């Protein structure tokens, strides 16, 4: 009796409709999975290929953060508005005589380390920097750090597609000395290439 009821239920069950529905559901699942995967791949490719800003830059500062004629710095953008930078500038080369037979060449190298914040979203922006310049002397007799100079700046930045131009005004604390005031103002020019 049980077997006959199963056979009757088996024969009356609409297998064709069930199989068609099952195929449609499987096809829908496959298409949905493909669409989700395609969307994910396109999103990743477009986000990596067309980023809104470059994350690195190389900058040439003329009368800039090294308190001398020029320095070259590397900048790392943590966001579109904030970046950190470090660089090196040559302030002078001199010859030192230890005695009549020994002489050495001394390099006065300055290392600016700073953070900057940019106001504005378009090509014409305001930039503010806060940092420290390390003044060091390097020669064959040894090296030494002679001064640490904190600075702050505010200025104009023009940001193009392949380069940027900055005109900052600096205030640097150089300490008490015979030649200059302890807080020294100056203006500079920076040309950078983002990558």
Per-residue pLDDT tens, the chain, 195 aa: give them: 555 554 455 555 565 665 666 676 666 677 777 777 777 676 655 555 445 678 999 999 999 888 888 899 999 999 889 999 999 998 888 887 777 777 888 888 999 999 999 999 889 999 999 999 998 888 877 777 788 899 999 999 999 989 999 999 999 988 888 888 889 899 999 999 999
Q: First CA to last CA across the chain, in angstroms? A: 81
Residues 6 or more apart whose CB falls under 8 angstroms from that of 132 comprise 112, 113, 114, 148, 149, 150, 151
In terms of residues, how long is the chain? 195
* Nearest by Cα to 165 from 194, 185, 195: 194
Characterize the bridge pairing of strands 183-187 and 164-173: antiparallel
User: Which residues are bridge partners to 57 per DSSP?
Assistant: 75, 194
- Burial grade of 135 (CB within 10 A; 0-12, 13-18, 19 or more): buried
Q: Which residue spans within the chain are E strands per DSSP? A: 56-62, 70-77, 82-97, 103-119, 124-139, 142-159, 164-173, 183-187, 189-194
pTM above 0.85, yes or no: no
Q: In the prediction, which pLDDT does 181 show? A: 85
User: What DSSP designation does 81 have?
Assistant: S
């Amino acid at each position: 009796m049980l077997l006959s009821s199963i056979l009757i239920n088996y024969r009356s069950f609409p297998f064709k409709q069930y199989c068609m529905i099952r195929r449609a559901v499987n096809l829908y699942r496959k298409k949905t999975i493909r669409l989700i995967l395609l969307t994910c791949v396109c999103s990743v490719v477009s986000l990596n290929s067309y980023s809104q800003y470059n994350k690195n830059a190389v900058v040439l500062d003329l009368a800039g953060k090294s308190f001398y004629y020029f320095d070259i710095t590397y900048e790392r953008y943590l966001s579109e508005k904030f970046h950190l930078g470090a660089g090196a500038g040559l302030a002078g080369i001199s010859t030192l005589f230890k005695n009549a037979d020994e002489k050495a060449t001394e390099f006065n190298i300055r290392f600016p380390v700073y953070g900057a914040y940019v106001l504005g979203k378009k090509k014409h922006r305001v930039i503010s920097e806060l940092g420290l310049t390390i003044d060091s002397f390097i020669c064959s007799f040894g090296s030494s750090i002679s001064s640490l100079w904190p600075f702050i700046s505010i200025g104009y930045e023009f940001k193009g597609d392949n380069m940027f131009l900055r005109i900052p005004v600096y205030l640097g604390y150089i300490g008490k000395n015979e030649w200059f005031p302890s807080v020294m103002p100056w203006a500079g020019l920076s040309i950078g290439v983002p990558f």
